[in-house]
Amino acid sequence: MPIIVRLDRVLADRKMPLTVLAEKVGISLVNLSNLKTGKVKAIRFSTLEAICRELECQPGDILEYQEEASS
């Protein structure tokens, strides 16, 4: 998948555990963990907004586009 989730990197930079972010954003730890590991196919803008607000970052800090290699 060409969209890479870099939430783990931003959390490490902020020294914030996933459990704390989940509580502040109001999302279940399981759903946030699935997002962090790239196991989700979509994210609501309201969730992305809440994550960015709590982490004081931009969406581009969390999501990265990486072109797939051609066969």
* pLDDT, tens only, 4-17: 999 999 999 999 99
The 10s digit of each residue's pLDDT in 24-33 is 999 999 999 9
The burial of 70, by beta-carbon neighbours within 10 Å (0-12 exposed, 13-18 middle, 19 or more buried), is given as: exposed
**8 lies in some domain:** yes
Domain-embedded: residue 70: no
**Global pTM value:** 0.88
> Residue 54: pLDDT above 90?
yes
SS3 category, 41: coil
- Which residue range is the domain that position 27 belongs to? 3-65
Within a domain: residue 45?
yes
Q: What is the CATH number of the domain that holds 22?
A: 1.10.260.40
Q: How many domains does the chain have?
A: 1
Q: What is the pLDDT of residue 71?
A: 63
Percent of the chain with pLDDT over 70: 96
